[in-house]
Structure 1
Amino acid sequence: MLGRKESLSSQLTKQLAQKIDAKVYAPGTRIPTEAELCQEYGVSRTVVREAIASLRADGLVIPRQGIGVFVSERTRLLPFEFDAKSEGALTDILYILELRLSVELEAAALAAERRTARQLQVIRARFKDVAKEIRDAQDRGRSDFEFHMAIARATNNPYFEKFLSFIGPQIIPRIRMSSLQTGRLSDQEYHATIQKEHAAIVEAITARDANAARDAMRAHLSGSLERYRAQNPRT
């Protein structure tokens, strides 16, 4: 039987999807009939049909006229996500920084080549926001995230922005672990270092120097990687 916290069709969809993922219903096999599902889960045919429609829309099942509904033989793509409360948060920070190195270097280079005057103004404004947040002792990393988002937008390739938006503010280490010490640097030294690295990125994008922008972003993210790596004795 299903509960009442969400729609019955949604609950049934999830349970059937879980069985497909666990290969209780193996690829290429027929799932139970409408009548069998109604009896097993105590729901109406309407609920079953809505659930099957959802599974079909997700590509998990394929109806075959006069035969039944079969599990698709295509591999299901599971969602890609970060666990913001992971017990291995420090290790995850290092993994995320490594991932960002592979993406944001080119974002900075493309931003240098493609940014508009207006986009450059926004990048500079976000840079100043980081400085203000630090100066007012209100540093939470949010302005830092918006700074990187402004650079992603300036690539004028929407997928860079979508990628960072998908990952979200958790890409900024001090948002993820606000109490984490960054090596032997004091807060003042740490923030001064971050802003110096940011300034080099802004300068390169302003000059439309793609190579310098790429190098400045590499120095920034590699610096962060090393600072946080110093806190993980296993690396």
Structure 2
Amino acid sequence: MFIIPAIGVVLVVAGLVLRSRSKATPANASAPARLPSNSGTFVAIAGVVVLALGLLATITHATTTATHDPELAVGNCVTSSEYRSAQIGKIHPADCADHAAVYELAAAVTNGATCPDGKLKDAAYFVLTDGNHSLCFAPNVKVGDCFSMQADVNQITPVDCATKNGAGVTAQVGARFDGSTDTAQCAMPAGATVTPKPARVVCWQPVGASS
């Protein structure tokens, strides 16, 4: 992006040099293939135009890149509706204490880098990606809350625990252990969600089961 401005600078300098030489050379001096006296001015003007266009392109590129960069900070939470919008760079954080804010940002990675568990596809996290940026979310769920889960959809949808109809399976949060990755603490270890960062175990169970 800096090549065009550099060319503009070179042209400006070359134009000024040509003007200087033109003024320093007497009109009746004998010189082979002498350039027109105003050639330096034209070159300098062309350089200014190229420099301006190059700077404009650089600023536009920087602004566009910033617009598409993830805006969330690690530790921020987002609601299920914001997550479903899947518009990286336009997701707004919510209070992590909000029951609707069921996703907590654990990591923001770029260029195919993985989530904290070493995976991107099939990670223990809920992952949003646009090809260049990926956001890895840990479940930020409350004990007793229920969610609809679908095997082929990388998201959880809050639902009324009395509702068992619709697509997917309704599961309830039986327990949550922060600062640990030991699934043995869960009544159904095989159904637990484990994230290493933040260290968290979420124990899922069928709706109505005792914890």
Pick the structure with more strand per residue: 2
User: Does TM-score exceed 0.5, indicating one fold?
Assistant: no
Pick the structure with more helix per residue: 1
- What TM-score do the two structures reach when normalised by structure 1? 0.21
Highest RCO, 1 vs 2 (Cα 8 Å, sep ≥ 6): 1
* Structure with greater Cα Rg: 2
- What TM-score do the two structures reach when normalised by structure 2? 0.22
